[in-house]
A and B are shown apart, each in its own frame.
Chain A
Amino acid sequence: MKVPADFGVDDTELTEVVVRSDLHSAKQPEGQIINEMLRQGYDADAAFGLKLALEEAMTNAVKHGNCNDPNKTIVVRYFVGPQRVVVMVRDEGCGFCPDVLPDPTTDDNLERPNGRGIMLMQSYMTRVCFNEAGNEVWMLKQRQEASP
């Protein structure tokens, strides 16, 4: 899947990183992206939100997408510009359907220990969308938007 048209970034502007599918390796792209955000003057709240959303996406890719198999890989493509940050995370799994996830904030689900990752990604990012298969997530963070 190419970068969504309304994300305001061309495919050729993206930097690609491929990492081993384990939680340690999954931290590597985060450092590159956050450092570039801070270098470009994004504030601490924007960096906090991006870090949180990216960690949730990478954890989902390692655990659910690639089923904790370190022989698999995760592809990260990102762009950090003056007005927006775009990040894509793709695993080798068969994906899922994000539309059927239960709302973790209802009384019935509030004390369930899991199921909050995608909701947090959606809360902190300007836009989050998935490819049809559900194994590739695209996240957009616009600079002018205040953190939640």
Chain B
Amino acid sequence: MQQPSSHLKVRRTSGISMVEFADRKILEELSIQEIGEELGELVEAEPGVRLLLNFKNVDHLSSAALGMLITLNRKIQEQNGKLKLSDINRQIFEVFKITKLNRVFDIHTTAEEALSGFGQV
């Protein structure tokens, strides 16, 4: 099932919400607040959500995007849910490493690998 959204493509399968960004530059400063709100609404609508954020369409992000992801991760953890990230390109992953946020987030090379970590493929 695909839910229409201005910034996100959300697909639900086997109890896991898989989210892709609709635009390559989606994590730029201009849109980050709206994306954070959309993801926040998604988490609030499903307490304990198992959420996979797929970065395959993302080629840029900012410190504000990192902040949004930290807030989202905390919110999901408070509700005993789980957030995983996947398909992060080399340049973006470097940002996670520089900020040491690769230690905070559960990052997987591919969506398939991340899904298997949720307990099913």
Contact = CB atoms under 8 A, between A and B. Distances in A.
Contacts of B64: 59, 114
Contacts, number: 60
B22 interface: no
Contacts of A28: none
B67 A113 contact: yes
Interface SS of B by simple majority: helix
B16 interface: no
B22 to A, nearest CB: 19
A14 B104 CA distance: 41
A133 B98 CA distance: 28
A55 B30 CA distance: 10
Given A48-B60, A59-B64, A27 B30 contact: yes
Given A45-B91, A111-B74, A51 B99 contact: no
A116 B94 contact: no
Nearest to B101: A110
A120 interface: yes
B7 to A, nearest CB: 15
B103 A120 contact: no
A78 to B, nearest CB: 19
A105 interface: yes
Nearest to B66: A116
Nearest to A27: B30
A119 B28 CA distance: 18
Given A45-B91, A48-B60, A120-B98, A114 B67 contact: yes
A142 B98 CA distance: 19
Contacts of A51: 60
Interface of B: 28-30, 60, 62-64, 66-68, 70-71, 74, 91, 94-95, 98-101, 103-104
